[in-house]
Structure 1
Amino acid sequence: MPSADMIETMLIEQTGNQIANGEKEFVDLESVELELALNLQTLQEFGFEECLKEASEASGFKFLFQLPVFDQIPGQRIAVMSTKDGDKLLYAVLDNTGKAIEIVPQDAMRVEIRDFASAFMDVFAQLGNLQS
């Protein structure tokens, strides 16, 4: 697993000029870390969910759920992962071809998807509190 410094260096090398020129929005470190952990071979062999579960485990995230894309969001499926502390959510979108996954930070995801994911987290937090 690459260190945080290595990931930051790779991010700057890969997208620094695009970000500086306004061609690309800044991507947070967690998104890059999860994206680097993706194995597209796993995607092709075992599918979207298994690919993301493997990447989440490798990069220290929790896979929460996936759902089919609806409305006007491009892609086939959306999955939601959280940081271990649950403070931040990341979204993975399977493209229309089923061959690529884009990691989308929380602030770049549509509000209704963010609201649904937050409600999901609240329900599970409450279930965890009930079991204690």
Structure 2
Amino acid sequence: MLSSEPNTAVSGTQAAVAPADPGLTMELLELELSLDGFEPDAGTFADHVRAAAAAIDGALLFELPASGLIAGCERIAVMRIPQDGSPVMTTVFACLESDGTTIRIEKPDERTADLRNFAEAFVDVLQRI
């Protein structure tokens, strides 16, 4: 039975369950798993991101130096991925962290709104060609 109340029947202690991230879709989860284990000797960051995006019917738009736009990030790959299994695409960023091997996914926010807007304009131009 599903309940919104916490489970307290586990050995007299309250079970700690993290709330589900409402923005975490299957596509984002698959993408995160595909990006895990990046080896710089095995190929470029862009190649790795391109393959991971293609695996979920997404696309790498472009990649560029982070230039301080996202903290702790060396390079940013801008991608379009399906939203909730529909043909609607959403923009996300794959961030290569300063260690050179860890990649994390970031959703656009206030500080990256200009980059998201540029990406969407880029897609618009490509669709018109």
Q: Above 0.5 in TM-score?
A: yes
8 A Cα contact 2:80 2:89, kept in partner: yes
Q: Once superposed, what is the RMSD of the aligned Cα atoms?
A: 2.6
> Per-residue CA shift, 1:38-81, capped at 9, x if unaligned?
25244442121111111112222111111111244221111111
Higher relative contact order (CA 8 A, sep 6+): 2
Distance (Å, rounded) in 1 between the aligned partners of 2:95 and 2:110? 12
Quote the sequence identity (%): 31
2:90 counterpart (79, 83, 88): 88
> Per-residue CA shift, 1:4-36, capped at 9, x if unaligned?
xxxxxxxxxxxx93446xxxx644212212111
Aligned to 1:53: 50
Aligned residues: 108
Runs of 4+ off more than 4 Å: 41-44
Question: What amino acid sits opposite 1:28 in the alignment?
Answer: L
Q: Structure 1 length as normaliser, TM-score?
A: 0.67
> Structure 1 or 2: larger helix share?
1
Range 87-96 or range 105-114, more displaced: 105-114
**Where does structure 1 lack aligned partners over 5 or more consecutive residues?**
1-15, 128-132
Radius of gyration: which is bigger? Answer: 2
Aligned to 1:79: 77
Distance (Å, rounded) in 2 between the aligned partners of 1:41 and 1:100? 7
